Structure 1
Amino acid sequence: MNIDGTLYGRDDARVSVFDHGFLFGEGVYEVLRTYGQRPFLFAEHMRRLRASADRLALSCPLSDEDLLARIRDTVAAAALPGDAYVRILLTRGVGEIVYDPAACPTPTLVVIVKPHVDPPVEAVRGGVRLALASVVRNHPGSVDPAIKSNNLLNNALAMQQAYREGAFEALMKNHRGELCECAQSNIFVVRDGVLLTPPTSAGLLVGVTRGFVLECAADLGVPAEECVLHETDLASAQESFLTSTTREIVPVVRIGAQTIGDGAPGPVTRRLMTAFAAAVPSRLS
């Protein structure tokens, strides 16, 4: 683990209780993974990190090049036997217990590295079930989901419902009742050969992997659209899958009480999974 440029072991790492990331949730984060110890889609993750930070009037103290070097140093120090899960946290920093950003002159930058864990093989081969969360995704006029914020209570409550129901993930609706995104991933469905995913206007975090999958779809000639989706649309979906940095593409075969298609991963999903794996080496840093 790396805190403001200093390496620590897991049991020795400490952040002040007066850090506004701890006190108020004032901070943003990104999660990357490595392939062959090299970060994947690093530039895209950094653009999103800085965009999230800008919405909080929070500055990152490092350039992309210096942050990449810090990640590489932390990954090397971890000496993992395989690939790494990398979590970057940028907070307002340490200050008095007030809301004034001026109370925190120096932001805190943490890099956490731990072993990457792939989704279970049976999930990738056979697909997974999603819970339909009763918790509504944050309204964009509240804590905007477009900010990848350290304040994750909304997501945590949705995932806790999924755990109680024995589901792999929680699919959330927005304040209008539209399907939005999952607690930890973006959602896609396939209908009549067209790849559909909720639009940014649904109030979601625009996933880096979501964007990469749309690139893969374009390369394959698979038509793709951003489309407002409702629970009733699931009955006409032939396929579904979710996407995230640490999971890549995971087929979805059931959402709530609705079986998707024939209840097995479909051909478009499989083609995209193959294309994803083939394209990874070209996007490593």
Structure 2
Amino acid sequence: MNVSVWVDGALVDADTPAISPLDHGVTVGDGVFETLEARDGVPFALERHLRRLEYSADRMGLAPVDLSAVRAGVDAVRGVVGDGITRVRITVTSGGGPLSSVRGPGPQTVVVVGSDGPAPERCRAVRSPWRRNERSAIAGVKSTSYAENAVMAAYAAQRGADEAIMANTLGHLCEGTGTNVFVERQGEIVTPPLASGCLAGITRGLALEWGAGAGMPVRVAAPGELDMSVLDEAIAGDAHLAVTSSTRGVQHIERIDGTDLAPGPLLTRLAALYERRADADHDPVPPRSR
């Protein structure tokens, strides 16, 4: 795999230490990040990702992110990996700090990584035994404090899966460790609301926007409308499931808890629509800029 790394204004070798061991992103996970798919060598939906990066930093109480520096980093790693680039990861931390939860004075650390690694080809999922806290201080934030997701992903891997689907503390369907979840049942497609504690996924938002624009029956569920029993409906054949993420697009969940699932016709249409629209416009303008 070809990897390019840019740290605080300079390209560095991927195997060369480039971040202080006292960086608060290292010691306590005090930072935010974005992962982008690249299509035809172009980072997809970059402006939407940068806006979410700003939102996450604001929610975390971090200083405003220098977006010009981030864009420079993205251009730099693209220049090294070339048109074969498939993924870009942007990470911003609060910078150096003490060995405690208290932040230091900064400056922030900005890291951009580009690679040509393959995207996940399939999704096989299990139910997570742990729940997302929808009342957490960082609920809905793309934070580098990702340890609980790593634990759940490891749990899934131990069971032959690559994703874990979790409820929130109320028992309502929430999200996967790195994905949003869409459910097809009763002739429509629904996805958990942000009030469930799920991330406002870029792909989730585009799937909703583009699907509704094409006249498809796709919407955000009402709070509490979807609980984890919908996974049992899928196992029984009464519902269908898909996940969305920047690297997966709209992807059918082909197995849940060891049971194979048939793809839903509406979700299959939505996946195809998403691919067509994404291929046609690599940087769809965020709604508030129109």
With normalisation by structure 1, the TM-score equals: 0.89
Report deviation, 1:231. Answer: 2.2
Question: What is aligned with 1:283?
Answer: 282
Distance 1:189 1:258, change over 3 A: farther
Deviations 1:112-164 (CA, angstroms, capped at 9, x unpaired): 111141223xx3xxxx4310000111x23334231111011111111111111
Corresponding pairs, count: 272
Matching residue's letter, 2:168: N
Deviations 1:145-197 (CA, angstroms, capped at 9, x unpaired): 31111011111111111111111310011111111000110000111221111
CA distance in 2 between partners of 1:100 and 1:156 (Å): 24
Which of residues 206, 215, 218 is equivalent to 1:212?
206
Match runs of 1:249-260 below 5 Å: 249-256=250-257
Deviations 1:35-66 (CA, angstroms, capped at 9, x unpaired): 11111111111111011100122124423x55
User: Between the two proteins, what is the percent identity of the paired residues?
Assistant: 32
CA distance in 2 between partners of 1:98 and 1:19 (Å): 11
RMSD: 1.9
CA distance in 2 between partners of 1:279 and 1:142 (Å): 34
Which of residues 37, 40, 52 is equivalent to 1:33?
37
Question: What is aligned with 2:267?
Answer: 269
Matched, 1:154 2:152: no
Which of residues 20, 27, 30 is equivalent to 1:23?
27
Question: What is aligned with 2:227?
Answer: 230
CA distance in 1 between partners of 2:254 and 2:43 (Å): 30
CA distance in 2 between partners of 1:140 and 1:268 (Å): 29
Match runs of 1:1-285 below 5 Å: 1-63=5-67, 65-79=68-82, 82-101=84-103, 103-120=104-121, 123=122, 128-137=123-132, 139-227=133-221, 228-234=225-231, 235=233, 237-256=238-257, 263-280=261-278, 281-284=280-283
Structure 1 counterpart SS, 2:170: coil
Report deviation, 1:96. Answer: 2.8
Report deviation, 1:258. Answer: 6.1
Where in structure 1 are there 5+ consecutive unaligned residues? Answer: none
Asked whether the 8 Å contact 1:2–1:111 carries over to 2, the reply is yes
Distance 1:96 1:238, change over 3 A: closer
CA distance in 2 between partners of 1:220 and 1:197 (Å): 17
Report deviation, 1:109. Answer: 0.4
Distance 1:73 1:207, change over 3 A: same
Matching residue's letter, 1:276: Y
Q: Compare 28-37 and 274-283 and name the one that shifted more.
A: 274-283
Distance 1:257 1:96, change over 3 A: closer
CA distance in 2 between partners of 1:94 and 1:66 (Å): 18
Structure 1 counterpart SS, 2:190: strand
Matching residue's letter, 2:226: L
Asked whether the 8 Å contact 1:189–1:240 carries over to 2, the reply is yes
